[in-house]
Homo-oligomer: A and B are copies of this chain.
């Protein structure tokens, strides 16, 4: 998070603690983003070794989740943060859960990549995986960038993009079910593609949750469970 919003406290110890939370969150975000990209490439190129590397990264992501939560709990206990600092701590704690789950979904995709490399590739669905995969990667990158820049307006674009992903996901599902009916021998391999698409769709949902936490952090407004149009209205209201 930029200097304008972060690290302006008279206690230099407190500043360091907040910067450490920021650094760890960015490290975790970067790792998870890389995991999604690598899992996707592993699936599309049937590369088991690449998929194994995604699985190996999971441990570091889990460690970071625990570290960040500990740091947040310590700040809450010792610094009694108020107003925007408190909102930032709450938002980071929630966002970190979503990041960890994005890491989990990447591991699921990596596991599907290994299965498909071993048991034979699916005759259909790679174009859809590439397309939806690129969309959610873009969403995740934008969200992490917006989070460090305190750019709440960006979260609305992210929510819109997530709606587009959900639509494409449903359409891809329908074609894949049709392919399974036409060629029952490919059911098992197509199902691995279906699971991967579902994981990508979940990555989109978790990314969208992080966008909601970004709005809460910057604007102090809880925009969960509302439509994109309502979200836009909320952001236009004076704070």
Contact with A181, one of B62, B65, B80, B184 (Cβ below 8 angstroms): B184
Judge whether A224 is part of the interface by a CB distance below 8 angstroms. Answer: yes
**A184 partner residues in chain B, CB cutoff 8 A:** 180-181, 184, 187
CA distance A102 to B222 in the complex (A): 20
User: Is the beta-carbon distance between B187 and A222 smaller than 8 angstroms?
Assistant: no
Q: Do A82 and B86 touch (CB < 8 A)?
A: no
By beta carbon, the residue of chain B nearest A90 is B73
| Set of chain B residues within 8 Å of A82, measured between Cβ atoms | 77
Q: In the assembled complex, how far is the CB of residue A185 from the closest CB belonging to chain B, in whole angstroms?
A: 8
Instruction: Using CB atoms, name the residue of chain B closest to A188.
Output: B177
Residues 203-230 of A, flagged 1 when their CB comes within 8 A of B and 0 if not, give 0000000000000000000101100000
Whether A225 contacts B62 in the complex (CB less than 8 A), given A76-B76, A77-B86, A177-B187, comes out as: yes
A66 within 8 A of B: yes
Residue of B nearest to A83 (CB): B77
Q: Is the interface of A mostly helix, strand, loop or mixed?
A: helix
Q: Say whether A23 faces chain B, with CB atoms less than 8 Å apart.
A: no
Interface string of A164-202 (1 = CB under 8 A from B): 000000000000010011001101100100000000000
Chain B residues with Cβ under 8 A from A225's Cβ? 62, 65-66
Say yes or no: is A70 at the interface (Cβ < 8 Å to chain B): yes
Q: Does A5 contact B (CB under 8 A)?
A: no
> How far does the Cβ of A105 sit from chain B's closest Cβ, in whole Å?
12
CB-based contact B90/A86 at 8 Å: no
Q: Which of B90, B187, B188 contacts A187 (CB 8 A)?
A: B187
8 more A-B residue pairs beyond the given contacts A62-B225, A93-B93, with a C-beta to C-beta distance below 8 A: A65-B224, A69-B90, A70-B222, A73-B87, A76-B86, A77-B82, A97-B97, A177-B187
Q: Which 8 A-B pairs have the closest CB atoms?
A: A62-B225, A184-B184, A80-B80, A180-B187, A181-B184, A66-B222, A181-B187, A77-B86
